[in-house]
A and B are shown apart, each in its own frame.
Chain A
Amino acid sequence: MKHAILSFAINRPRTVYLIVALLVLFFAAQLPSIHIDTDPENMLPASQADRVFHNRVEKEFALYDAIVVGMVNEKDPNGIYNMESLGALHALSSGILAIDGVITPDVMSLSLSDNITQGKSGEIRFSWMMREPPETPEIAAGIRSKVARLPLVLNTLVSVDGRAAAIYVPIKRKDLSYPISLEIQALADDLESNDDFYITGLPVAEDTFGVQMFRQMAISAPLAGLMIFLLMWYFFRNSRLVLAPMIVAIVTVVITMGLLVSLGFTVHIMSSMIPIFLMPIAVVDSVHIMSEFADHYDPSKDVKQSIERVVQHLYKPMLFTSLTTSVGFASLLLTPIPPVQVFGAFVAFGVLLAFLVTILLIPAYIVRMKPESLANLARLKAGSDANTLLARILRAAGRFAFSRSKFILAIVAGILVLSIAGVLQIQINDNPVRWFKDSHRIRIADQVLNKHFAGTYDAFFVLEYQDVSEIENFKKRAQALINDAERAGADIAYVRTEIEQEAVGPQQYFDSIIAAIDDLLFETEQGVEALEALMSFTEGVQVGSKYFQDPDALHLIETMQLALMNTGGVGKTNALPDIVKVVNRELFGGEEADYDIPATSSAVAQTLLQFQSSHRPQDLWHMVTPDFRSTAIWLQLKSGDNQDMTRVVAAMDDYLRVNPLPDGVTANWAGKTYINLVWQDEMVAGMLKSLLGAFVIVFFMMALLFRSPALGVLAMVPLTVTILAIYGLIGWIDKDYDMPIAVLSSLTLGLSIDFAIHFIQRMRTLVAEAGSFAAASLHIFEEPARAIARNAIVIALGFTPLFFASLVPYITVGAFMASIMVVSALATLLLLPALMGISRRWLFCSEKKAAPEIN
């Protein structure tokens, strides 16, 4: 296999070029159909239970993702209750209604709110809160007292301090939120007012992130490429030579991304980082080949032979390092988060592809280089960099590591203890709004609006009533009554059909039966009494089936609202009882004493019939379904952090354990803030599984590679220390464990093992060659240590362009990649020798006879 590949590459370089060029062209052509996806909902598989429930709730309650527009006036003594501000709010709201993609009937704004009040002679009155901009300062100021009487408006559409107003703009599709937010911004910019306008909301954050992510991909990946190019040029001082690994990197990235796009996968936050991850990894193998080639190249000999020998020599370690890196990333497939799986799978593929491209393209490239260019390589012969600063530092480090084993081990043990303490402090948290820097306008809007309002993040606590035997019981009992009617001579055929039909939902089912009985009662003169009995029985069951219309159930909802507020994480709740109480108060004259729930289900029904006679009857169905079997309590949260949502969920779990819900009633969560929490939980569990899975596989690969379980264990040490140290650091510096951080564990595993493989394998070879551990321990800190250090530097610095990204997850990845490289290089170059020094007899004595297997 490897001979065939090699001889093909060396003897048919033009064919290799042609094939690679065609592949690149083909996959590059796929790239324009790229589809960006930043919807965190897609972090969960479409069939995931919480997601399915969330989508059902959104549909049943006609809820849409909403952009939150805020208007703040800190100067006027009346806050936003002045003519100019309210005029601006009115104009902005009207402008928003005209934007395509906005669900106009459900836009919530003060100027689109309905007010329910007492008229001059005590009549009940529905009137628009602010149909026209207020014409006098008194009218403007008067709106404040109206708002104070409407619990659904206060602290949702206008802040309690009167300084801020909000417009909730539901949109048809999430991917419209960025363009719509720009249109709203343009409208706000054109307003002549002294108010400040802010736009936020999860969909805007997500969609804006998508747009910026796209730009980031176009900037960061090429920058990382440039950085790597410069570093390699620094090390090799030969731009023609350095060009080759760059081509390998570009070929790998283009084919991998082209494949991803052509297979119909969307590009998520994680997959957008694939090019940045692949670029340094793809370069590493080429660096090995070229270093080695430069060492062995002799202008008097045939180029083909030299390169063939080099590749033969490096084939196995390169294959193994590629395989282990690939396994590290492939282990992400064990995490049940589709975008993470896609990321893992394609980086794993890319790593192997890079290996293949390297052993095909690099030999072909070198064979086709001009003799003059090759001659330049002589300068790079081994030893030429033996006196650089790096070389001297490494030599000193080697002496130190081998002689002060116990000291190093003690230090590492200390670090491990600290790291474990740090790991225990890790805060698992994510919030799409925090993907932006503090200074980003979305972050600022988020801060300002949540300072004034009870919260701009929403979640829904949904109560559902179910009685599976309800209709069966009805059918059984109705049977006797319908038989009575039939015996009395009524033509009950149609009524019977209606009763026996398969019920779609209880309301429609009972409605159609009642309508059929009603019609029959008009036509028949026989069995009237029995039919009327059936009618009133059916009506009774129907009213009873409207569970959340019952005063007891409404009181239950109130209790839940209170419990939610008591969790401490909720700014405000809005629910069905709030509507009922307001209408009841206004029906009875507007006194606070009547702010209550009526005594019977019928009274509630009649109260709601009045609410439905308003300008916005549809608002009712955002809180209860028309069959009154499901009700949604709206939560306003001040923070979209998963942690805060977790606390509320946990507190409610505790509450419900002590105060169980009535029979047949279940409680569940929905809403974007909650969904974020679900996938975060799944990710943490999944990542642990991925990491352990990869750890076991890589250990077996190492034991196999070194034909020694003991050396296999040794190989696992640096990466274990690195992972613990990095995550310990994350715990100590209070960096939230979010998605990019989670993914880094696999990356660490995949990359640190490479250093260990090279170090152990070279050490083993050196012990065999030099015949003594002492001699080998000096040699290992020459060229082999330099290669490892050089690769660590290339990869670490290759990620530094990410520091300049405008999006936080990119900065995080850049910073931690660099740290991982430094820590794992240190762990390899200091800890491994220390351990070897202590256990050398056990590890190496028996090895003397065994021929080195892989170099």
Chain B
Amino acid sequence: MAKNEELEYVTPAGVKVSAPPHINKPKSQFTVFNGINGFIFVLVCLIILVPIWKVLIDSLDLTTGYGLKLIPTKFGLDGYASIFTNPSLLRPLWVSVYTTVAGTFLGLLLSTMGAYVLIQWDMPFRTTFANILLLTMIFSGGMIPSYLVMRGLGLTDNPLGPILLPAINVYNLVLMRNFFEGIPKSLFESADLDGCSPMGTFWRIALPLSKAALASIGLMFAVAYWNDYTNFKLYITNRNLYNFQMKLRDMMQSSDLPESVGSATENTIRNACVITAILPFMVLYPFLQKYFVKGINIGAVKE
């Protein structure tokens, strides 16, 4: 906008007026503030990305001393070759995959069914049910009693343990309930009048109308299962049942590294393992980001 051009505003009545003199100055696209602000964000983004970038680079570099390099000097994929030809790493990956798939499905099932029951406002004992769930958010038996229960049920050293335990997530259930509340009641009522059973209404009305919420909450479950370390650490001691996070931790701590293929060094393999752990998510992340943000907003901005 040229400097001497006057700003004009159109009032709701359609009258053109010129702006008062003190705001009648060009909205310049580049001020010092915007410049500094932009610079700050370039810096912030670099601070976030450089650590990840550095690991990625080192996983592709076959030399030993990495130091300050931000591009590989001796490019090679031997680090990844070592991982994917080694059965001791493929098994943890497989454990991660199946616990994530099974857990996410189960978690979504429990959250949606629980949430659906909690929106039946006139149902006797509804409040009792809600309180039973909410109490678990403020008090817990603690790590050792939980361990003893899991052990008593034979869920230690059993992949079912880390699948079943995180599947009941009251926080996610409440998010789901908040979402269901937004569905017009009349839809449920008319389904009821048409003789649809509660389960039928749930499958044919509630779930199909909640695709966005299902995506968000399903992703939250999936990330939690994929990233789960605590439950595996507590309940799994058999190395054959380790998930990828456990395996990665082991490799970082000790020298429990897979045998190297070609000229991959120990450090290269370590870096390659970290990248393998985050790669599936990194690839999907740009497409999924909006669902994550939506998910947090279902719960948070309900004020």
Are A and B interaction partners? no
